[in-house]
Amino acid sequence: MVKHIVTFKLNGTPEERAHIARAFKDALMALPGQIDVLRSMEVGINSNPAETWDVVLTAVVPTMADVEVYAKHPAHVAAAAILGSHKEARACVDYEF
């Protein structure tokens, strides 16, 4: 199995960032029912005002090749598009467990 962990830093006002983060989370949480290789999805929105990263997601897929299947799936592409111009930075770690 592979854990795909991604964190995002958004730009905009705090209200805009919160709105985008909630919409992104809602879209991501719908993905396990739409993408066969996606075993689970967890999404967290930062609630610590002292930190600067806004959203983290943890997805689990069977193999490293399935990370690409997940990433290219139209439902995932649509979810990622929600961030639009609000995505300031992205960091990712994929590891087998």
| pLDDT tens per residue across span 39-93 | 999 999 999 999 999 999 999 999 999 999 999 999 999 999 999 999 999 999 9
Residue-level pLDDT at 41: 98
Tokens of 45: 């929105």
Write out the H or E segment, with its range, that includes residue 8.
Answer: strand 2-10
Q: Alpha helix (H) ranges present in 1-97?
A: 14-29, 64-72, 74-81
Other beta carbons within 10 angstroms of residue 79's beta carbon come to: 22
Tokens of 42: 């967890």
- Total H helices, total E strands in the chain: 3, 4
| pLDDT tens per residue across span 11-31 | 999 999 999 999 999 999 999
Give the residue among 8, 4, 6 at the shortest CA–CA distance from 84.
Answer: 8
| Residue partners of 77: CB distance under 8 A and separation at least 6 | none
